[in-house]
Amino acid sequence: MTSSAMSSPAAASVLDLAPVVPVVVIDDAGDAVPLARALVAGGLPAIEVTLRTPAALDAIRAISAEVPDAVVGAGTVISPGGVRDAVDAGARFLVSPGWTRDLLDAMKASGLPFLPGVATASEVVALLEQGVTEMKFFPAEAAGGTAYLKSLAAPLPRARFCPTGGISLASAPDYLALPNVGCVGGTWMLPPDAMTARDWPRVETLAREAAALRVR
């Protein structure tokens, strides 16, 4: 799915953009555009920029303005204020590591697609009660991995997930094979040495390898 597929963001699904969503931490906003162009060229249009650094919002603004084929989202959204900041910066989807009622209400009110984070069956049920069926499963490996998600599929068939946390190129296919997984989040296409060296061709190559994964 290309960025034009999210021209009406509220109607679109983050889970269907690509098999892998890169989870990006940007320390220098000047890196945002070339990094996003490398990821898009490699076939990964959905890019989650985490709100963990002072440069994050400027990075989202730059990608939104200068990389039209990217679908840039804000990750690590943990407050209603963070939701407002992300929307103002041009984010097109929102991701949180967990959720509260206030945060959930703010994400709903934003009009953007969003993935609230869950790690337990009770959290999933609570979101289903609120009409939310698409979620981030985090931290995926630490919270039980594929075995846990597989065990949720039968009793909670309406829930769909983007597992994130500790996933690699080797383990991603096992997650993508599950019926309740739409995509995975990961950082393996953004190795620290390539990021430090600003080796965007290498990032593009690793992104292309990740984009070749498909939900079975």
Each residue's pLDDT tens digit, 14-68 = 899 889 999 999 999 999 999 999 999 999 999 999 999 999 999 999 999 999 9
Active-site residue, 108 included = no
pLDDT of amino acid 3:
33
Residues of the chain with pLDDT under 70: 1-12, 215-216
Tally the C-alpha atoms within 13 A of residue 150's C-alpha that lie toward its C-beta: 9
pLDDT of amino acid 13:
86
Active-site residue, 136 included = yes
pLDDT of amino acid 136:
98
pLDDT (tens digit, 9 = 90+) per residue, 5-29? 344 343 368 899 889 999 999 999 9
108/1 Cα distance (integer angstroms): 23
pLDDT of amino acid 4:
35
Question: Pick the catalytic residue: 108, 123, 136, 209?
Answer: 136
Per-residue exposure over 130-168, b if at least 16 CB sit within 10 Å of its own CB, e if not: eebbbbbbbbbbebbbbebbbebeeebeebbbbbbbebe
135/174 Cα distance (integer angstroms): 18
Could you tell me the pTM of the whole model? 0.93
